[in-house]
Amino acid sequence: MTPIAVTGWAMLGLHGMGWVELAQLCGHFMLLSLLAVGGAITTAPEMQRYLVHEQGWMSAEQFTASVAIAQSAPGPNILFVALMGWEVAGLAGVVATMGGIMLPSSVLALNVARYGRRRADALPMRAFTGGMVPVTLGLLVSTGWLLAAPVRAHPVAWLLVLGTAIASARTRISLLWLMAAGAALGMLGWV
Amino acid sequence: MAADAAEPAPPAGGAMRSPVSCGELFRVFQRLALQGFGGVLPVAHRELVERERWLSPEEFVELLALSQVLPGPNIVNLALIFGDRHFGWRGALAGTAGLLAVPMLIVLALAALFRQFSTQPLVLGALRGMGAVAAGLVVGTAIKLSATLKKNVMGQALGGLFGVATFAAVGVFRVPLVWVVLGIGGIAMAIAWRKLAQAERGRP
């Protein structure tokens, strides 16, 4: 079959999964949703254990490819969860995994934010933001450090990371140009 | 006047703005999501703070702090809370939909494509280079936002110290985030609480 025909079948079919399995999939991701402090990527090891080892719904290679593809595409990294659903059960799988990972945390976030807004001037709320802002900045630097992990062995990559950081912080250059420069340097084999 | 999507053009003067409709929320969050390769946060800062002026740097970093502590994807939490603040649940839905709808279609299409090209050295090289830039952009955002520490209740030096401690714990020693928030975050909040209480008592 041609790739397009395969994609067409994948969209409509459930890949042999029944509604019970689909509900299990959704339920498991709902559980992970509330555990995903620091972003959904922090629960990726648990997703891998469940999808690959416990249920055998996808291979380890498929799992890693899902994360890598979502990282390289525009949009929030959370979309790797959509790709996993797609691999497991087509469109129905996307609804199950994305719905599961998003709903519980979103309901919680909205309620906490509304509660916090009503008391924005209260001492505990101001202490929370005052204390957490430095931690947030540290987490940002950590994210950059971990994203750079695959290229940290290359001196040119260090220059690229630092150059990007300074150019984006100090100038108004479009971030898309920086991205294109990175892609070009990578294709030349410099990083 | 032609709007140039690549060049942030802040309105004249320092006036803050607000989104006028759910449609505008949807469009702005979609625009920033489509520019975000390897992470949307740096673009979100550029668009929401520098271009649209919907948030001051201080408001942005406070919103980000809340989004990070809550479970769920940080940028989605940020869109939800920001949208809800302006238009209730409709705004929350509009921001999140803008962030996710079109990028999801692109990711699914890319997945079909990558299956055929994923072993090409050129593709792999481009991905590595883009990964390095994504890392630099996040660090750049941290550099910009570090200016907000000047207004922090703990002061710049102590705030910077907590930032470095967090980086060491999470980035270097890979301590689970929950412990960092409870430990380092807890101490930082306690100090902030004391300083705020002292300032309030000192007020006439």
- Each of the 191 residues of chain A gets a pLDDT tens digit; together they read 445 445 555 455 566 788 899 999 999 999 989 888 767 777 887 888 899 889 999 888 788 778 778 877 899 989 989 999 998 999 999 999 999 999 999 999 999 999 999 988 899 888 988 999 999 999 889 888 887 888 888 899 999 999 999 999 999 888 889 989 998 999 998 88
Last residue of a domain, one of A130, A156, A178: A130
Q: A48 — contact with chain B (CB < 8 Å)?
A: no
CB contact under 8 A, A169 and B144: yes
Q: What is the separation of C-alpha A190 from the centre of its chain, rounded to a whole number of angstroms?
A: 27
| Residue A140 within a domain | no
Last residue of a domain, one of B106, B128, B147: B147
- Residue pairs spanning A and B at CB distance below 8 A: 386
| Residue B4 within a domain | no
Number of domains in chain A: 2
- Verify that B136 and B157 share a domain, yes or no: no
- Verify that A96 and A157 share a domain, yes or no: no
- Verify that B105 and B159 share a domain, yes or no: no
User: Tell me, what's the ipTM?
Assistant: 0.83
CB contact under 8 A, A76 and B192: no
SS (H, E, C) chain B: CCCCCCCCCCCCCCCCCCCCCHHHHHHHHHHHHHHCECCCHHHHHHHHHHHCCCCCHHHHHHHHHHHHHCECCHHHHHHHHHHHHHHHHHHHHHHHHHHHHHHHHHHHHHHHHHHHHCCCHHHHHHHHHHHHHHHHHHHHHHHHHHHHHHHCCCCHHHHHHHHHHHHHHHHHCCCCHHHHHHHHHHHHHHHHHHHHHHHHHHCC
- Verify that B137 and B179 share a domain, yes or no: no
Q: Give the chain B residue whose CA is nearest to the CA of A69.
A: B111
- Verify that A110 and A189 share a domain, yes or no: no
Range of the domain at B192: 152-204
| Positions in chain B short of pLDDT 70 | 1-14, 118, 203-204
Range of the domain at A152: 148-191
Contacts of residue B77 in chain A, CB cutoff 8 Å?
Answer: 105-106, 109
**What are the Cα distances from residue B13, in Å, to B9, B47, B53?**
12, 17, 11
Q: A153 — contact with chain B (CB < 8 Å)?
A: no
- Verify that B28 and B126 share a domain, yes or no: yes
Give the separation between CA A95 and CA B24, rounded to whole angstroms.
26
Bridge partners for B165 per DSSP: none
Eight-class DSSP state of A76: -
CB contact under 8 A, B84 and A114: yes
Smallest CA–CA distance, residue A51 to chain B, in Å, is: 18
Q: A126 — contact with chain B (CB < 8 Å)?
A: yes
Helix (H, G, I), strand (E, B) or coil at A74: strand
- Verify that A115 and A183 share a domain, yes or no: no
Give the separation between CA A175 and CA B137, rounded to whole angstroms.
8
CB contact under 8 A, B100 and A76: yes
- Verify that A85 and A124 share a domain, yes or no: yes
Contact between A137 and B196 under an 8 Å Cβ cutoff? The reply is no
| Residue B187 within a domain | yes
| Residue B6 within a domain | no
- Could you give the count of Cα atoms lying within 13 Å of B167 in the half-sphere of its Cβ? 17
Last residue of a domain, one of B99, B118, B147: B147
Contacts of residue B92 in chain A, CB cutoff 8 Å?
Answer: 106, 110
Number of domains in chain B: 2
- Verify that B65 and B103 share a domain, yes or no: yes
Last residue of a domain, one of B122, B147, B172: B147
Chain A, window 70-99: residues with a beta carbon less than 8 angstroms from a chain B beta carbon: 70-79, 82-83, 86, 94, 98
- Verify that A116 and A178 share a domain, yes or no: no
- Verify that A169 and A107 share a domain, yes or no: no
Which secondary-structure segment (H or E) carries A48? helix A44-48
CB contact under 8 A, A133 and B61: yes
- Verify that B49 and B131 share a domain, yes or no: yes
Burial class (CB in 10 A: 0-12, 13-18, 19+), A86: buried
- Verify that A118 and A162 share a domain, yes or no: no
Q: A127 — contact with chain B (CB < 8 Å)?
A: yes
| Residue A142 within a domain | no
CB contact under 8 A, A175 and B154: no
